[in-house]
Structure 1
Amino acid sequence: MHGVLSIALRGSLIPLLVGGLSGALFALSIPNSDIQLFAWISLLPCLCFTFAAGSTARDGGERKPLAIRQTLILGISFGIVSGFGRVYWLAGTLERFGHLSRPEALLSGGLLILYLSLYPAFFLFVCRRLSIRTPLLPWIAAAVWTLLEWAQTWIITGFPWELLGYSQYLNRPLRQLASLTGVYGVSFVLVLVNAGLAQLLASRRRVLATSLPIAAIVSAIMLYGFSRYASLTSEASSASAPPSTASAALKVGIIQASVAQDVKWRPDRARAITQRYADLTRQLASRETLDLVVFPETALPYWFRDDRFSAYREEIEQLARDVSAPILVGSLEMGRIEGKPKVFNRAFLLDREGEVAGYSDKVHLVPFGEYLPMPWLFQYLEGLVAESGSFASGAGHKVLSLPQGVDKIGVFVCYESIFPSIPRALASLGAALLVNTTNDAWFGRTAAPRQHLSMAVFRAVETGRPIVRAANTGISCAISPAGDISHATQLFETSAFSVNVVPRSTPTFYVRHGDVFLVVCALFLLGTFAAQRRRQRGRA
């Protein structure tokens, strides 16, 4: 009996530890640790165990797959540990601003982590069935992982937070691949290398057939990355950029007022908050001439054009006239949909005369933060929505024309930065400069603000557009089309500063063709599995 129990424990404990090790490597590769090298081996323990732990038939036949129970333990443990690294901060946000008890907050955060763990578990269930002998194994594994990441962008409205590829946001040459494939291509490369190494360690046969194609493709990608980065860096430093690729440089002012989340939505603080933004803007404008000023998401936490707040609105209108610069103001707007009153999370563009020249709405809202999906199930989370109010989704994304200028800007708000399709759509509509406004005060001093920034880096590379980022409590910065971060502020720092950006209109391959790489991955898998089925039928 003791021997049976010991074997059972070993059968569960080993995959639990191996999965946890892979998850820890993943978690350490992303902010705040940023040990990006770990991403290149983060899947290695799981895949080695999957490929090597399955027994081989005595007659020399195909390897038997890893037991289902062990695969499940392996995948879930990997997903839980990596998921904790990705969203550990959620429980604290729910407790503080959602007014949940600590057990309720921990349970809710745990459910999200458990949901995220289903993806690596499914990935390993596919990998356990792959033949260790085929040179295509790493490519199949990479394609499966990539499509699972894409699925995270739309299942349950989408939550593609800190995917594997984002770990390389500081890797200058590799992140340039996103201009062709989006962030998914970077994830593909990382999994390809992990799976290739695992196959070599597990089989130790056909070394050249496995390693040479992977080494060749990675080398080509890095060469492309170095070339593109050098080209963009040269373009940015050029005194006069080519007319076909860039416009005249703009001096953009960014205002980070650092208003605490527990103060921001108090009605009695509206006047003081308005005055704070006005004072910071005037201080900046007194030092330099600005072409545009950007306030963060919902910087002015009231209905901007409502007559009840006309005194505050008039102060901002006068501010635009005083500083003689357009101001992009994050605020709220009351509107109607099908006759029902709705509140929109809106960015208003004021011209130099203080008139509203245009506006852009947030379209992809934060579930549980800005609206409550399935209220019959998640009614207990209504306190988090009540903190800022329940919003309506905008009709669609659109670009704004800068007054007295030829350049167009595209605004994407907060959570929208984690979806590659949104900035890509703005670039397709003609935006030469992207503006990301956000309020990350919810997250305090956790890793979440830097994780959020890491994803915005890829939006710049994917679109080939500079990004100006204004965050209420940080991290505000500028991001170059090559993905370099500059002028980054500290969290909860009050700051008013300017950045020089060169609007850029040349479309990247990703802007022109979208997620064609995902289609290639899907067709590759369909073709591979179809060929495998034909071979199996031929043997029968």
Structure 2
Amino acid sequence: MSHQLRRLLAFPLLAIAGFIGLNMYWRYQRDELWGHAPLFLYLFVYAAVLLLLTLRPDGSVRPNNLLSVLSGVLLGLGFPGYLPFPFALLIAFVPLLVLHTRLRDTGAGYGRMFWHGFSAFLLYNVLATYWVTNTSLAAGLFAILVNSLLMTLPWLAFHWTSRKSPRVAYLALGAFWISFEHLHYNWSLNWPWLTLGNGFAQFPALIQWYELTGALGGTVWILGANYLAFRWYQSTERRGRPLLALGLVVLLPMAFSLLRYATYRPAGDAGTISVAAIQPNFEPHYEKFADDDSAQLDTFLNLSRAALAVGPVDYLLYPETSFARVEENRPLSNPSIRGLFEALSGQPARYLVTGFDGYYIFAAGEPVTEAVRYFDRADGSILALEALNATLQIDLATGEYQTYRKGVFVPGAESFPFKSVFFFLEDWVNSLGGTVAGRGTQSRRLPLVGEKAKVAPVICYESVFGDYFTDYIREGAQAIFVMTNDGWWDKTAGHRQHLWFSSLRAIETRRAVVRSANTGISSFTDQRGHISSQTRYDEATFLRGEMALNNAITLYVRFGDVVARIALLLAAMLLLGNLTRSISPDAFSRKKA
């Protein structure tokens, strides 16, 4: 098959991708969301490029490329959102490991290893997180491309180890990958969404042991199963001990989990609280931040009254950033907050918990934070303030209030990564109407304290961070309130994945979770991670439920990500060993007798 014919085969795919891109632009001009269109755009471009690179000049297929594609497909389809079959993750790395063995044995260099790893991880990111593009095309492309590149780093480190220390190469893959996932929780460009252990979030009955290890324990399990499946595939007769080991590694944790799921009971009797989660359903791109405040206030009041007409509750829960321009130290000075308080006082609800978009004004002489923003006042003085994504709890009986500030921010949208490095971009960003200041935060994950309970006020992206999440529990939280706005991603896999991640946090901490999501899905999740009730996406409604409180501390909460600390230590030792062997190849060689 000639090169020209290959180009002709790829052209229809690129033409279709171009048509999809034009359709997306047309929909953008009409203030319409893209839904699944970015997925098809990316897949057609990927397929066209792959076609050009997979066919040899003689028309035959390069099998190595197909192996990397197969790994990408298994990773992408195994992650929650498409098929309810996360077991694909247990073998998803096998094609890549087979490919690595072939390339290593032929002396392939790092360039080819990079290409095949990047190809697999790019497809994984496209299939699992294409929906990010609904926030903006630039954000989607950046998230997919950069995360794919970052995933190739542990892959290349594994290849380096296989050349320098082949006996521990597969141990190194696990150590490097888990270290990568851990670091992805803890730096300015954090994006731990695709942590492998998150892949079983849709099936909480199978992962009850996350109360011991957290989601990174799931990553260990998945990588271990992949290694044993690879060993079985590589074995001559493909039976016997490797298959038995694979079966035990896969089935024993699930058997323990099913038993734990069936027999779990909350420790002690900490009581219960009743909650009504309000789902107002304001479209965030073109409606929520443009609508008249009074119209949105009416929606909240009508849904709240409908929920309270069913019966009294301890808490009314509203979504993230439900109200804007709220001064943290004087929330009742905001007309909407004041109107809510006056309308709901005397109603059968004790507390209102709501997310708000607000600010804090620094007093003259008060130390400022890194998030400070300066504005000129009319009288010539300087106003110093910090913007907040925060939560407010109001006692509807007394008017007393507490606030909480979000602590983990979405890179780009809420924070400027590596601000100290790219400080020279500040004037340019400001000229575009943005800011590098970010948002104000607080150092401790303090719960909101009420008469009957201490609840963790978790805001959107914070619910993705397992180890961070445990700080709420150490501070005394007995239940978890998640306030979020998942409408940015349209009706795609994104909002469902975010919903299922709450099951992970429930298992890790053994705390019941209630979600109030602007456009859905709002839900109640019990301490086993089981979603007991939920709303539909894209409807204005409310959801009532009872939440069992818990004071017990799980091993994961007590000790944190021990798995990550072990992996980091192993990775550091392996990298040091590789570096030593590279500098002095004879340092570890055995002396001849």
Shorter-normalised TM-score: what interval?
0.7 to 0.9
The 8 Å contact of residues 508 and 556 in structure 2, kept in 1 or not, is answered as yes
Seen in structure 2, the aligned counterparts of structure 1 residues 52 and 379 have a Cα distance that, compared at 3 Å, is farther
Q: Does residue 49 of structure 1 match 2:99?
A: yes
Match of 2:387 in 1: 343
Q: Does residue 256 of structure 1 match 2:306?
A: no
Seen in structure 2, the aligned counterparts of structure 1 residues 311 and 481 have a Cα distance that, compared at 3 Å, is closer
CA distance, structure 2, for counterparts of residue 91 and residue 424 of structure 1: 30
CA distance, structure 2, for counterparts of residue 461 and residue 385 of structure 1: 42
Match of 1:31 in 2: 80
Deviation track 1:404-434 (CA, whole Å, cap 9, x = no partner) reads: 22x2111110011111123210011110101
- Which region of structure 1 is more displaced relative to structure 2, 270-279 or 389-398? 389-398
Deviation track 1:245-297 (CA, whole Å, cap 9, x = no partner) reads: 3422221110001011122112x511111121111111111111211111111
The aligned runs of 1:146-225 (5 Å cut-off) are 146-204=178-236, 210=242, 212-225=244-257
Q: How many residues align?
A: 506
CA distance, structure 1, for counterparts of residue 569 and residue 187 of structure 2: 21
Match of 2:495 in 1: 449
Seen in structure 2, the aligned counterparts of structure 1 residues 224 and 110 have a Cα distance that, compared at 3 Å, is same
CA distance, structure 1, for counterparts of residue 98 and residue 434 of structure 2: 47
Report how far residue 436 of structure 1 moved.
0.8
Report how far residue 326 of structure 1 moved.
0.9
CA distance, structure 2, for counterparts of residue 484 and residue 380 of structure 1: 47
Percent pairwise identity: 23
Report how far residue 31 of structure 1 moved.
3.2
Q: Does residue 365 of structure 1 match 2:409?
A: yes
Report how far residue 211 of structure 1 moved.
5.0
Match of 2:347 in 1: 322
Letter in 1 for 2:173: A
Seen in structure 2, the aligned counterparts of structure 1 residues 496 and 205 have a Cα distance that, compared at 3 Å, is same
Q: Does residue 492 of structure 1 match 2:538?
A: yes
CA distance, structure 2, for counterparts of residue 429 and residue 20 of structure 1: 45
The 8 Å contact of residues 372 and 382 in structure 1, kept in 2 or not, is answered as no
Q: Does residue 356 of structure 1 match 2:400?
A: yes
Match of 1:238 in 2: none
The 8 Å contact of residues 47 and 198 in structure 1, kept in 2 or not, is answered as yes
Report how far residue 500 of structure 1 moved.
1.3
Match of 1:293 in 2: 316
Letter in 1 for 2:270: S
Match of 1:482 in 2: 528
Seen in structure 2, the aligned counterparts of structure 1 residues 263 and 110 have a Cα distance that, compared at 3 Å, is closer
The 8 Å contact of residues 343 and 391 in structure 1, kept in 2 or not, is answered as yes
Seen in structure 2, the aligned counterparts of structure 1 residues 204 and 428 have a Cα distance that, compared at 3 Å, is farther
Seen in structure 2, the aligned counterparts of structure 1 residues 68 and 14 have a Cα distance that, compared at 3 Å, is farther
Report how far residue 385 of structure 1 moved.
8.3
The 8 Å contact of residues 278 and 316 in structure 1, kept in 2 or not, is answered as no
Letter in 2 for 1:113: I
CA distance, structure 2, for counterparts of residue 301 and residue 227 of structure 1: 47
Seen in structure 2, the aligned counterparts of structure 1 residues 12 and 165 have a Cα distance that, compared at 3 Å, is farther
CA distance, structure 2, for counterparts of residue 299 and residue 398 of structure 1: 21
Deviation track 1:351-389 (CA, whole Å, cap 9, x = no partner) reads: 1315133121111122222234447559888899869x9
Root mean square deviation, CA, Å: 3.4
Q: Unaligned stretches of 5+ in structure 2?
A: 4-53, 369-383
The 8 Å contact of residues 368 and 381 in structure 1, kept in 2 or not, is answered as no
Q: Does residue 397 of structure 1 match 2:450?
A: no
CA distance, structure 1, for counterparts of residue 135 and residue 432 of structure 2: 9
CA distance, structure 1, for counterparts of residue 63 and residue 431 of structure 2: 41
CA distance, structure 2, for counterparts of residue 462 and residue 302 of structure 1: 35
CA distance, structure 2, for counterparts of residue 10 and residue 126 of structure 1: 34
Match of 1:15 in 2: 64
Secondary structure of the 2:390 match is strand
Letter in 2 for 1:310: P
Report how far residue 185 of structure 1 moved.
0.9
Match of 1:120 in 2: 151
Match of 1:537 in 2: 589
The 8 Å contact of residues 258 and 494 in structure 1, kept in 2 or not, is answered as yes
CA distance, structure 2, for counterparts of residue 132 and residue 69 of structure 1: 17
Letter in 1 for 2:559: H
- Which region of structure 1 is more displaced relative to structure 2, 436-445 or 211-220? 211-220
- Which region of structure 1 is more displaced relative to structure 2, 467-476 or 331-340? 331-340
CA distance, structure 1, for counterparts of residue 289 and residue 282 of structure 2: 10
The 8 Å contact of residues 79 and 119 in structure 1, kept in 2 or not, is answered as no
- Which region of structure 1 is more displaced relative to structure 2, 513-522 or 69-78? 513-522
Report how far residue 311 of structure 1 moved.
5.8
Report how far residue 39 of structure 1 moved.
1.2
Seen in structure 2, the aligned counterparts of structure 1 residues 300 and 341 have a Cα distance that, compared at 3 Å, is same
Secondary structure of the 1:343 match is strand
Secondary structure of the 1:17 match is helix
Deviation track 1:105-151 (CA, whole Å, cap 9, x = no partner) reads: 25x53232222112432233234343899886554433332222112
Secondary structure of the 1:250 match is strand
Report how far residue 489 of structure 1 moved.
1.5
Match of 1:279 in 2: 302
Seen in structure 2, the aligned counterparts of structure 1 residues 81 and 384 have a Cα distance that, compared at 3 Å, is farther
CA distance, structure 1, for counterparts of residue 444 and residue 332 of structure 2: 26
CA distance, structure 2, for counterparts of residue 520 and residue 481 of structure 1: 28
Q: Unaligned stretches of 5+ in structure 1?
A: 56-63, 95-104, 236-240
CA distance, structure 1, for counterparts of residue 473 and residue 339 of structure 2: 32
The 8 Å contact of residues 147 and 521 in structure 1, kept in 2 or not, is answered as yes
Match of 1:102 in 2: none
Secondary structure of the 1:292 match is strand
Seen in structure 2, the aligned counterparts of structure 1 residues 384 and 25 have a Cα distance that, compared at 3 Å, is farther
Secondary structure of the 1:512 match is helix
The 8 Å contact of residues 324 and 357 in structure 2, kept in 1 or not, is answered as yes
Question: What's the TM-score, normalizing by structure 1?
Answer: 0.84
